[in-house]
Amino acid sequence: MSELTSALDNDQPLLVADSLSKNYGRLSACRDVSFALYPGEVLAVVGESGSGKSTLLQLLSAQLEPSAGRVSYRMRDGVLRDLASLGEAERRFLFRTDWGFVHQDPAQGLRMAVSAGANVGERLMAVGWNHYGRIRDTASNWLERVEIDVGRIDDAPKTYSGGMRQRLQIARNLVTEPRLVFMDEPTGGLDVSVQARLLDLMRSLVSELGLAAIVVTHDLAVARLLSHRVMVMKGGSVIETGLTDQVLDDPREPYTQLLVSSILPP
Amino acid sequence: MTAMIDISNAEKTFTMHLQGGVELPVVRGVSFQVEPGECVVLSGPSGAGKSSILKMIFGNYRCDGGRIGIRHQGQVVDLATAEPRQVLSIRRATIGYVSQFLRAVPRVPTIDVVAEPLIATGMAREEARARAGQLLRRLNIPQRLWQLPPSTFSGGEQQRVNIAHGFISDLPILLLDEPTASLDAANRAVVVELVAEKKKAGVAMVAIVHDDEIRHLIADRIVDVTAFAAAA
């Protein structure tokens, strides 16, 4: 049995959201969201801007404190822990090693003025790697995996195209072999042809590595291509959830039907 | 019970919220069984709900009532109420679906599209590619096309890639939605052969076939879908 199938048949959730809510004064940005994510599973959160999907992503990745409810994560020792109860060292471990975060704008996830090799190597050094040759080999290996010419390893990402920057951001995130990756509109600012290449790359990396991922997107095609399951959000609440092809081919809620029917055929 | 598929009283209604909440009943009282090694063909005019039933068995359309029992890894799971994770597990290990149209990822070479179901269940890439090549050759897709993505192919070629993708794995249940629709006589004959081999291997199949000749060649039993008409 491959790593992926064994990960997918794993019965213990990796992350559990329990009645998560976030209020800003009287505004409720995220309301009573509960779900479990399993190892190797890709969950898409879809909805239009203002639906609360980005707030949810920040709550799930401990960048924002919930007003109510909690998020639990299964640490590598197998114990499910409330994120709010983690110590500083454990939080650092999650952010630097066990989690990845792919931002819509690569400039947020990369250091634009240092070389591509250093961008990838930095995450390794943060977890204690100190052999320059090994770091450089691993970095160039990852550049190859994300289809960046290794000859560009010493160039800074500010000299890269948008698609290359996004692929570099992915390499930087995956180099520490995280178990969970958060992605916020990962194909957002890219040309359609560049999007297709990136999606194909993400799809194969996620399945090869058996990664779990939570992908926030307003693009239903991205959800269809990448995710196993989808949650549709509107006005801060999850209004429909299920298998991705089921929700997209047989949408139940009026708003989901509207979203699905609003796609222009190519 | 030995049946691979045991459907009783399944029903499906679409509610069209964008058209003022119109209710569109599709089928009700759907009940039949499929044994291992048997090919059941659904018959009825278009619009009778044949494809909907197939999609319900695959978990692509939700089932509004009744039961869809699937024998999965030694036990019976009701697909109508299964969790998404269970449905995915059933699709990996038990049910394959050959649709009329290919939905392939851009850029992925044909040989890898076909090999993918084997790789997903743990076979080594090279071995999976070798088996994919054999099947593509049988379906008369010339080797020079294998490295190209199928989106560049003709309709008939795409359908053959789709058939190869559906038939390559050793799943115990196969759902076939018009597998021969845009094929020439030679390739239709290959599909009939492939179906016969699957029967011999004990695979339970449900098919939709409009071509009378093909239906005659592959059907062990015909289920008339008009009996499940749900028109109010």
Q: Both tokens of residue A80?
A: 């499910």
Among the candidates A177, A195, A219, a domain finishes at A177
Enumerate long-range contacts of B113-119, CB under 8 Å, 24 or more apart. B113/B149, B113/B150, B113/B161, B113/B165, B114/B161, B114/B164, B114/B165, B114/B168, B115/B168, B116/B165, B117/B165, B117/B168, B117/B169, B118/B168, B118/B169, B119/A2
Per-residue pLDDT tens over the stretch A176-223: 999 999 999 998 878 877 887 888 888 888 888 889 999 999 889 899
B186: number of CA atoms within 13 Å, CB side? 7
What's the CATH number where A33 sits?
A: 3.40.50.300
d(C-alpha A223, C-alpha A215), whole Å = 8
pTM across the whole model: 0.91
Same domain for A212 and A86: yes
Test mutation, A5, A205, A241, chain B, max B CBs within 10 A:
A5
Confirm if B15 and B22 have CB atoms less than 8 A apart: yes
Residue B179 CB partners (closer than 8 Å, separation 6+): B98, B159, B163, B166, B191, B207, B209
Q: How many CB pairs under 8 A join A and B?
A: 64
- A36 within a domain of the structure (yes/no): yes
Q: Which residues of B touch A200 (CB under 8 A)?
A: 105-108
Start-to-end CA distance of chain A, whole Å, equals 38
In angstroms, the Cα distances linking B81 to A60, B52, B63, B72 are: 28, 17, 8, 14
Asked whether the predicted pLDDT for residue B10 surpasses 50, the reply is: yes
The pLDDT value recorded for residue A208 is 83
Note whether A141 and A15 are same-domain residues: no
- Domain boundary residue, one of A159, A177, A195: A177
Mean of the per-residue pLDDT values for chain A?
Answer: 90
Q: Which residues of A touch B106 (CB under 8 A)?
A: 196-197, 199-200
- Of A41, A200, A245, Cβ closest to residue B107: A200
Whether residue A251 sits in one domain with residue A183: yes
Verify that A236 and A199 share a domain, yes or no: yes
In a domain, A89, yes or no: yes
The pLDDT of residue A18 is above 50: yes
Amino acid at B139: L
- Is the separation of the CB atoms in A123 and A175 below 8 Å? yes
Residues of B in contact with A9 (CB under 8 A): 89
Confidence of residue B129 (pLDDT cuts 50, 70, 90): very high
A105 inside domain: no
Same domain, residue pair A90 and A171: no
* pLDDT computed for residue A205 by the predictor: 86
A256 is a domain residue: yes
- If asked whether residues A86 and A143 sit together in one domain, one would say no
Boundary (domain end) residue, out of A177, A192, A223: A177
Q: Is A36 helix (H, G, I), strand (E, B) or coil?
A: strand
CA pair distance B147, B111, nearest whole angstrom: 6
Structural domains counted in chain A: 2
A167 and A189 both lie in a single domain: no
Region B187-199: what's the mean pLDDT? Answer: 96
Looking at the structure, tell me whether residues A14 and A85 fall in a common domain. yes
The interface residues of chain B toward chain A in range 27-46, judged by CB-CB distance below 8 A, are none
Instruction: Label the pairing between strands A80-82 and A68-74.
Output: antiparallel
Range of the domain at A125: 111-177
What's the pLDDT at A9? Answer: 58
Residues A193 and A65 both lie in one domain: yes
The alpha-carbon gap from A26 to the nearest alpha carbon of chain B, in Å, equals: 30
Q: What is the pLDDT of residues A154-173, one digit of tens each?
A: 999 999 999 999 999 999 99
Whether residue A103 lies inside any domain: the answer is no
Average pLDDT over residues A11-36: 94
Asked whether residue A37 falls in the same domain as residue A79, the answer is yes
SS3 B66: strand
Using the beta-carbon criterion (under 8 Å), do B92 and A229 form an inter-chain contact?
Answer: no
**Is residue A36 scored above 90 in pLDDT?**
yes
Measured between beta carbons, the chain A residues lying within 8 angstroms of B15 are: 252
pLDDT in tens, A37-57: 999 999 999 998 889 999 999
Query: What mean pLDDT comes out for the span A11-29?
Result: 93
Q: Closest by alpha carbon to B88, among A152, A105, A205, A39?
A: A39
Upper half-sphere CA count for residue A95 (Cβ side, 13 Å): 14
Task: Check whether residue A88 and residue A129 sit in a common domain.
Answer: no
**Does A24 fall in a domain?**
yes
A2 CB neighbours in chain B (<8 A) are: 119-122
In a domain, residue A182? The reply is yes
Residue A104 in domain: no
Same domain, A38 and A94: yes
